[in-house]
Amino acid sequence: MSQKPKVAFICVHNSCRSQIAEALGKLVAADSFDSYSAGTETKPQINQDAVRLMKQLYGVDMEQTQHSKLLSKIPPVDIVITMGCNVSCPSLPCRYREDWGLEDPTGKGDDRFLEVIRSIEGKIFELKSRVDNGLL
């Protein structure tokens, strides 16, 4: 059996969207790929609204298993997913890259967070399907 691809979800601060993607990747696609997240800068803690909503929705406590980290702190990856940070998007060597174009919900209400979380979940399932079908 071939080794699972490693997927990095990256954005500048690695505190919200990329952390949600890492958590959901581990939750629903661990059999298809290994999930990591990182950024070019770090925050002292993961976005607290994201932490609270991920606990409510999925029973996942991101603060127990994840922390904000720099690109240099993750292993070499096969697939890079940028979250939608436009011109300042970090670059990381990989064999495949795409941008999910997600708006940062930081500082906005729960409804925006829920929209972004649901969007990430759908994109994770789609990514899982493409990996499972040998398309990536």
- Cα-to-chain-centroid distance, residue 61: 15
56 pLDDT above the threshold of 70: yes
CATH number of the domain to which 117 belongs:
3.40.50.2300
How many alpha carbons fall within 13 Å on the CB side of residue 19?
33
Report how many domains make up the chain.
1
Domain assignment of residue 65, yes or no: yes
| Best CA proximity match to 121, nearest among 51, 20, 35, 34 | 20
Residue 12, domain member (yes or no): yes
Q: In this structure, are strands 6-10 and 79-82 parallel, antiparallel, or unpaired?
A: parallel
Considering only the C-alpha atoms of the chain, give the largest distance between any 2 of them, rounded to a whole number of Å. 44
pLDDT at 84: 87
Per-residue pLDDT at 23 exceeds 50: yes
C-alpha 121: how far from its chain's center? Answer: 10
Q: pLDDT band at residue 89, thresholds of 50, 70 and 90?
A: low
Structural domain contains residue 93: yes
Confidence tier at 38 by pLDDT (50, 70, 90): very high
Per-residue pLDDT at 120: 98
Q: Confirm whether 1 is domain-assigned.
A: no
Domain that holds residue 41: 6-132
pLDDT at 1: 46
Does residue 37 form part of some domain? yes
Confidence of residue 77 (pLDDT cuts 50, 70, 90): very high
pTM equals 0.94
Question: Residue 126 falls within a domain, yes or no?
Answer: yes
- 72 within some domain: yes
The neighbouring-strand residues paired with 37 are 9
Range in 59-73, 74-88, 115-129 with the lowest mean pLDDT: 74-88
Q: How confident is the model at residue 65 (pLDDT cuts 50, 70, 90)?
A: very high
> Is 33:61 a contact under the CB 8 Å cutoff?
no
